[in-house]
Structure formats: C-alpha cells, structure tokens
Chains A and B, each alone.
Chain A
Amino acid sequence: MINRILTMVRKELIDAARDKRSVMAGLYYAIGTPLMMCGMFMMLISQLTSPDDLNIHIQNPDKAPDLVKFLASSGINNGASSETPGLKVKEIYLTIADDYPEQMAKGLRAEVTLVADNSNEKLQKSISRLKKQLQAYASEMGSLRLIARGIDPRVVQPLKVVVEDQATADSKGGIILGFAIFTMIYAVFISGMNLAIDTSAGERERNSLALLLSHPISTWQLVMSKIISVTIFAMLGLALILIVSKIAYAFVPWQELGFAVNINPSFMLVMLAVGFPVAIMAAATQLFVSFMAKSFKEAQSYLTIVLLLPAALALAASYDIAPDTLQWLPVSGQQQALMAYVKGREIPLVQLAVSSLATLGIALALTFGLERSLKSEKIVFGL
C-alpha cells in the first residue's frame, strides 16, 4: 500500500527532475524573484534616505546671505549661482525683497516671495520642503529677537508637540517584507505548477493514465502519490527561495532605512511550517484543475486564472485590505501571521490555526474530488 505510493512518488520525482520545463519554472522564480525584490528595495532605499539636493532659483541672494546659508545647510541650493553644467534646477523661484536687510535690521517683517506652480505634482514635495525650512528659519530668528528683548521665547510657543515614533525598526520593514513574504508564499504555487500539469494533463496527453489505472493500484494511491510529489516540489521551491532570499537580502543596505529585514533560521523554519499546508492545497488545486484539461496547454491556461485567487488574497493581506476577514482565510491568514512574526508581534495563533485548517480542508475536499474524477470514464478516456 505505502510501497506503491512511494514507488509512484519516486517515479514522479525522477521524471520531473528530468523535465527541464518543470525544474526551470521553479528555479527561475525562486532565484529571480528575490533578486528582483533586492533591486527594488535598493532603489527604494536610495530614494528615501538621501534626498537629492534641491536646486532652486534664488533671486537677490546677496540681500539675505544668512538665509541662503541656512537653506544650503539643509540641501537647498541656489541653482542660478552654481557653475556645474547640466545641473537640474527646479522651477521654484524664491525672491528676496530689496528692503530685506533693512527690515531685518529694524526687527520688522522681511518679505520673501515663493513663486512656483502648485498644481505640478512633481514640485509639491520640493515646495513643502522649502516652506518647512523657511518656517524653521523664521522661528529661529523670532526666538533670537525675543531673547534680545529679554523675553523667554517659550512664551510664544504654548504648545510643545512631542512625536514619539512607536514603530520599531522591524515593524517599519514589515510593509516591505509583506511583499517579500507574498513572493515566498507564491513560490509554493509556482514551483509545483509545471509538475502538477505534467503529471495530470500531461499523463492524459501521453495516454499513460489509462495504463497506470489498469495496474493493481487504487485511485487513492494514485492521487496521494501525485499530491505528495507536487507538494515536495513546491516545498523545494519554497526552501530554495528562502535560501536565495537570505543570501540576496544580506546585500541590501537596510541600516540606511533604520530597520533590518533579517531572514534568520527561525523565520525560515516558521515560513516552511506555515507554508506546508499551503503547498498541499496548491498541489491539490493544481492537480484538480489540470486533470480537467486534456492537454498541457489547456491546463496552463486554466491554472493561470485559478492562481489569481491566492495571489489576490495574499496581496490583499499585505496591503491591509479588510484585515479582519482575511486573517481567517486560507493563504491571507498565513500571510498575516507571517507578517506579524516578522514585525516582532505575537503570532495570532487562533487565526493561523483556523486559516491553516481551512487550507487543509480545501486540500482534502479537492483530493476527494480528484479521487472521484479519476474514477470517471470521462476524465480518464475523455469519453
């Protein structure tokens, strides 16, 4: 009984390992995706952490050398005075009034005019950055004037707003890692897919299904062996993507973001454990769908549509869409639990258990369906 299943699993794995299409599909995904993610993170980090110098047009800079120096210290430069050729100067004009020095000296309001197209979205960030710096300069000057008059500047600042960022380093990385986790869970679906098609629709296409069934094996043994084989492939894909991610993510300069995305052995173990039921469900789903198809190509086109569903669930979970419902559902529940683990929060065990059980329940139902369909003359012979 068990021997026959083992025999069939061994044969499936040998067969699949020699099938370039099956192996490559898993490999490309498991190796390519972490590298792609790393590239994306690096781009993101370089954008977030080192804001480019903002070059604007400052008119009359010699009237307010102190203000110009203050702006330059926060990376806002007068592009007009720069001699670097090809320097990108934004269409923001800061005009310092002619009477600026006199007004400042008298302790009155000195006028600076900011001219820019506020409807231009690309400029908005730069404009608000400039405004913030101007306000900072103004309040600094204001405080100095009060002190010169013997008044505590705190008198005019009745509110002191203290912002404490509660986000730990890891929880900030969670959003990014949410997507990374999605790509890992999805590996389970991608890695086994070609084998699932080859061993079901392919078996029909090659006419070997009827031969298999004419041997003294039960349809249960056949279904179990196929699910086991595809699950093994899916888990190998998951293990591979974890290993590649571990190596690749080490090259991302996380420290510049102020948090670390760390794929440590304990995360890898949790991921494998949580991913296992998903892998079984993926195997059962893919086999069930592709046994309906008569040829490899037909199965491929069905599966492309079917695989949108787990992708949608996992993505919805990583973007926090309807989190209360999704935490109980298959795939999205596991995704949320893994994200919680990554953010250093407690894993929602009840939800994880429910969604894992739901996952296994679907797998079991599909296994029953598969077993039934293999008894159907329509599926086996296409009658």
Chain B
Amino acid sequence: MTDLTKLGVKAIRDGVRDGDFTAREVAEGFNAAVADAAALNAFIVTTPDHALAAADATDTARADGKQLGPMAGVPIGMKDLFATKGVQTTAASHILEGFVPPYESTVSQNLWDAGAGMLGKLNLDQFAMGSSNETSHFGNVASPWRKQGTNAAMSPGGSSGGSSSAVAARIAPAATGTDTGGSIRQPAAFAGICGIKPTYGRCSRWGTVAFASSLDQAGPMARSVEDCAIMLGAMAGFDPKDATSLKMDVPDWEATLSADLKGKRIGIPREYRMDGTSDAILDSWEQGKAWLKDAGATIVDVSLPHTKYALPAYYIIAPAEASSNLARYDGVRYGLRDLPDGAGLQDMYAETREAGFGDEVKRRILIGTYVLSAGFYDAYYNQAQKIRTLVARDFEQAWAQCDLILAPTTPTASFPLGSLDDDPLTMYLNDVFAVPASLAGLPAMSVPAMLNPDGLPLGLQLVGKPFDEQSVLDAGLAIQNRAGFDHAPEKWW
C-alpha cells in the first residue's frame, strides 16, 4: 500500500470517496507521523482523537451512502490562533497557556463541517508576531529543510511556521494559516509549499485570536494549488458574527481552476527590484515570467510607487491595532493571572502581562501604544493610514494595465534559527514583498518555484484583484505545472 502521508488533500479526499482506503487509515498514518516528528516542534498539542473521530464519521457517512464534504477524510493541522472548543488555544503565548475555549472559531468549524479532522494545534510566532517562528512560548519550530551540507536548524518562516513545517514534512497534508503581513506566504515560500491569503473578509475572523484586525486573514497552506483551492473553499464564507466579513458567495475555485492564462496580463512591479535581493531570487522571478508567458499570459511592467513606504506603514498600523487588541489579556477573566501578595489591580495587570507576554509581543505593544499616543498619533498612525490608502491606490491603478502581479514572495530563502535574534529590522524585512498586498486587502499566494543553490526552496508570489482568488489560483497552477517542484526535505527528525 502507498504511504498515505505522501498524499495531499485532493488525493486523500478522492481516495476515501472512491474506497481506495479509509479515512481512519489516513488519520492513523498522519497521527503516527505527527508523533514521530516531535523534533520539529510543529505542534503545541496533538489531538489524535479528534482526527480519528472525524475520520470515523467520514467512513460511517460513506458507508451510509451519504454525501461527503469537500474535506471529508482529510486530517489537518490547525494553527493555534484559532479557538477550538475544548482544546487548549494559546496563540503560542504563556498568557493564554491552559486556556480552553468554550467555542469554536468559524473557520475551524467550517472545516469540520466540510469533513476535516484535526491532528493538533500548530505552533506559531507568539500572537502571530514574527517571521521565523522563534517567538513562541512553546519553543522554536524547525523547518524540515536544511541548507545543503549543514545540520543547522533552519527557520520555517513565520508566523505560520508550525503550519509550513508540518505540511513540508508530510506530517499533515494541509494546515490553516493566518496572514497579517505575510504570515502565510513567507513560511510557505521558506518551506516549499503553497499558501494563499484570500481577499480580506473572505474568511471570518470570529474566534481567531486577533493580532491586527484590519489585516488578519486566514488561509490554507498545502502542497499544491488544487489543495489550496479545495481547502480555501471550505474555510471561506460570509459570517454575520464578523462585521468585516464579505457578504459574497464563495465561488467553486476547485471546479473552475484552469492553467490556461490566455488573455491574462501579468504585471511586474519595478519597485520590487530592491537592493540586496539575491540573484537566486531574481532568477526565480525571471523564470516565473517565462512560465506565465508560456501559459499564454502577456507580461507588462507596472509601477507601485509607494511600495517602499508599505513596510514602515505596516509596522505602525499592525502594532497600533495589536496594542489595543491585546489589552484584554489582563489576568481578570481567563488565562494567566499573577497576583502577588497584597497586590492591587495595577500590580496584577503589570505582573500578569510582564510574565505572560514574550519580548517581541511587548515590543509591538510598546510601539503600538507609542504611535497612538497624544502628540504622536498624527505623525505616525495617521500618516501610516494615508500611506495605506496610497498603497491600495497603487494597486488600483496597476489593475488598469494588468490582471495579476508577479513578484518574489521573500527577499531571501530561509535562514538558520537564531541568526536574526538581535536584529528585528532585518527580520521585519522578510515581509517587504508580502506587506503591500496585506495593506490593500488583496488575495495573494505563494507557490514554490525552485531550490536555490543551497538547496532551500524559493517561492513566487501572485497578487490579484479584490475577490479574484480564481485568477491567483489559476496562475499559481500554471507555475506549479511548469516548475514541477516535487522536492521534499530529507527526513532527519
């Protein structure tokens, strides 16, 4: 029998449906792979029983001749930012350690309703703040990839690093991610997998621990474009409990998927050609253009003139929102409470938050508090909002000339864990290509293109018009078909 853990979402779903194997066999296979991969530290908690129960439900439904959901029989990893009823939900923080929600996030519920099961809660950067998965209270996540000829642990990217690591290591066929300023796309690129952030509002934010509300958006991470299309379809949908949720029908992206790009115009933004971008990255970009041209698209040069201001604006807006969103973790109602003897309310706040938040989270709360303060608000927050508007306008103007934008996902390939520890600015630069689409709320995807000379994966990013996930997925499929990226990390864990 084939090793079921080599299969992706579509293959598992179709195989279960066709009776090639049972959902239980799949769940058992992945549960075992998860148990065997502790060295990656991809999971904060594992939930093999959840995966088995969902699998059994699928097998029973099939035996009863019932219609199976689009994710039926597929066990997935759930980023530990999504509240899961009865299962600890921490956002990789100490302050929420031990918190067991009495509710289920809309996105995870949608996936369970579609027939998926849960292998466990995936590690991430604390409160989704980070680009390397080194800020988790539960330890770093290691990428399954290694630089050729070295044994150094590499970063799986962040913040959805547990997700990218698990999917790349074949211990989960797919995983949820969330993307605030690149947190799906950058780890997908680092790990040689696909990941799509849909249009802001496609996936409900209800029940997802908030980082920066105006940017946070959930999306799937998987090893193929088809798998992303299937899983995104299951995650998305209007939710009356989220006031920013899009009141639109969810298209059947999987059914409409087409690698034929005839008539499509692909924009190449000249401002993305930045100093310090490695040759390998530039090569992959050139290669991407050639692939898309080969698929029938025309390539046009476009300008996104405010690109260089996007990252600084992002690092004002996101921390500003975070400083307010994280105020609820105060030790009063749930999670950690540090109450020294004889302490008052203010002491309790201070002790709890001092002990409960990691350094990067504190850094961003401080930045966010500062930029919203009286006397600084106009100079920072308001200016950043103006830039955000200009960045969005750049894209709107570009859409007059093109249907999609192609760019590198990241300026570099993965780096060794610990190498950027004391250099937050360089760390933040990881998201320089990802952030503009986040500020504009646009659908954007990373697709693996090739390995660099060090044997590390590189991703290409596609950015689409609002609500046009279909074109993004189509172009992703065109690249996937031509890149033939079938590299898998060698098992060392």
A binds B: no
Interface residues of B (CB under 8 A from A): none
Binding site for B on A (CB under 8 A): none
